[in-house]
Amino acid sequence: MSKTAAIIGGGVIGGGWAARFLLNGWDVQVFDPDPQAERKIGEVLANARRSLPGLTDVALPPEGKLTYHASIAEAVAGADWIQESVPERLEIKHATFAEVQAACAPDAVIGSSTSGFKPSELQQGAARPEQIMVAHPFNPVYLLPLIELVTTSADEGLVEKAKEMLTSLGMYPLHLKKEIDAHVADRFLEAVWREALWLVKDGIATTEEIDNAIRYGFGIRWAQMGLFETYRVAGGEAGMKHFMAQFGPALKWPWTKLMDVPDFTDELVDLIAGQSDEQSGAYSIRELERARDNNLVTMMRGLKAENWGAGALLNAQEREMRVGTVHGAVAADLPADALVETAYRTVPLDWTDYNGHMTESRYLQAFADATDRFMAIIGCDAEYISSGGSYFTAETHIRHIDEVHAGALITIRTRVIMGEGKKMHLFHEMYEGERLLATGEHFLLHVSLETRKPTPPAAHIEEALVRFAKGHAALPQAEGVGRAIGAPR
C-alpha cells in the first residue's frame, strides 16, 4: 500500500525531500506559495532521477504520484509523514505547525528540516508537541543519507515509526536524545567554516586552496571513517590512547580562531565572492550540482563494494528491497519452465563511457552480477561459499546488440543451457522493456576453494540446477546461443 508524504516548503531542501520520497514509491503532496515552486522542485527532481536510482543494484519501486496543493490543510490530508522546510524563522515555523496540526492525522510524523532550532523551541505552543521532531537532512537530500533525528518530549511510538520510515528510504536516522543548538553535524561544519573565513581574511589561503586541502586530504578520510575512527588508525597499533597522548597537547596551542568570528564587512564578502567566482564561475549552479551528484554516486558505490559507511547502508536497503520479491527468491519458489529474472536495476551514472553509453566492462559486470544472483538462487550463496565450494567462470561470450544509457531500467533473464555435475552453462538476456540490449553466455565449473580444482557441487545445488536445465530445455531456443566470432575467410 502506497504511503503519502506532505512537503511544506518546496525550496532546495523541500524539493530534495520530495524527490527522496517520490523515487522510493511514496505519493508526495506539496504546499508552497511560491509561484515558482513547481519549476524549482522539477529541477531538483530531474537531478534526483538521473542519480538516485543508480545507487543500488536493485531497481527502486515505481515512482509515486506528485501533486501540488493550494493550502497546508489539503497537502497534509492523509499524510503519513509531514516535512516542514519553511524559512528559519521561529514565528513562521510555529504558524506552520499550527496549520499542520489542525488538519493532519494525530499519528502522522511531523519532521522539521531546521538546521538550528531545538525541538523544544519548535514545540512551543503546539497542540500536540510530542508529534513534532527535528528531522534535519543534508543537501542533496535525495542522495545523502544522514538525518539528524532530534527528539525531546516526543511520542516514543512516533519516534520508532519515524526511524523505520527513514530507514526504508535508504536514510540513516542519527537519533539524538539531547538537544543543542545546530544539533551535531552543523556544529562541525560551522567550526570549519569559521576557521576558513579567517584563513581567507588573513590572506593565508584562497577559497580554492582551502577546498583543495579538504577534497585532496581529510575530506576523503572523513567520508569513509569519520573523525574518531580516522584518528584511531592514526594512532597506529597503540590506537586512540597513543594518538591523544601524542597530539592532545597541540589543542592548547594557539592554532585556531574558532571562538572568534571575522566581521562580514563588504571587503571580506567581496574577497570571498571574487575568489569563489574565479574558482568555480566557469560552471553554472546546475552543472556543479550534476558534477556533485556524479561524484557522490561514484564514491558511495565504491563504499558499497566495500560494505563500509554509507555503502553498508545501501547494501542493507537492497536486502530489504529484495524481501518478498523474485530477487529474494530461492529455487523452490520459482517455476522451472520459465526464465529466471536475475537482475532488475537502473544503470548508474558511472557505468557510461566517452560515447555516452554503457561501457563494455559494465556489460560483463551486469552479467556477472546476474550469475551471482542465479548462484544464490540455486543455493550457492555466501554461506555455502564460506564452507569451501563455489563456481569459477571458464568462458564468456557477450553480444552487444543495442545501446544502453545511464538511467536505463534493465532486466536480465537467465536460462540454464546445461547443468550437470561440475558444469553450469548459462545464457543471460538483457532488456530495457521489450528491447533486447545484449546477451551473455557463460560456462562455469564448480570448484573446491581449498584445492582450486573442479569438484562436484553439493547435492541440493546440483538438484536445483538440473531442475532448471530440464525446464528451460523445453523453451524455444534463444537466438545467439553458442555464437562465436568467426575468423574472416
The amino acid sitting at 297 is V
Tell me the three cell numbers of residue 57.
Answer: 543494484
For the CA atoms of 406, 173, 13, 161, what is the dihedral angle to 10 degrees? 100
- Say how many CA atoms lie within 13 Å of 334 toward its Cβ: 28
User: How does 373-391 read in b/e, with b if 16+ C-beta sit within 10 Å?
Assistant: bbbbbbbbeeebeeeebbb
CB 101 within 8 A of CB 128: yes
Pairwise CA distance, residues 413 & 330, whole Å: 15
Q: Which of 1, 23, 8 is nearest to 75 (CA)?
A: 8
- CA 462 vs. chain centroid, Å, equals 36
Round the CA-based radius of gyration of the chain to a whole number and report it. 27
Residue 9 counted as an annotated binding residue? yes
Tell me the three cell numbers of residue 472.
Answer: 528451460
CB 447 within 8 A of CB 361: no
Residue 11 counted as an annotated binding residue? yes
Contacts of 467 (CB under 8 A, 6+ apart): 331, 336
Q: Which of 449, 304, 426, 451 is nearest to 375 (CA)?
A: 426
Residue 13 counted as an annotated binding residue? yes
The amino acid sitting at 136 is H
What is the phi-psi region of residue 379: left when phi exceeds 0, alpha when psi lies from -120 to 50, beta otherwise?
left
Beta carbons within 10 angstroms of residue 49's beta carbon: 16
Q: Which of 151, 325, 76 is nearest to 161 (CA)?
A: 151
CB 4 within 8 A of CB 79: yes
- Say how many CA atoms lie within 13 Å of 58 toward its Cβ: 20
Which DSSP letter does residue 418 get? Answer: E
For the annotated binding site, the residues are 9-14
For the annotated binding site for NAD(+), the residues are 9-14
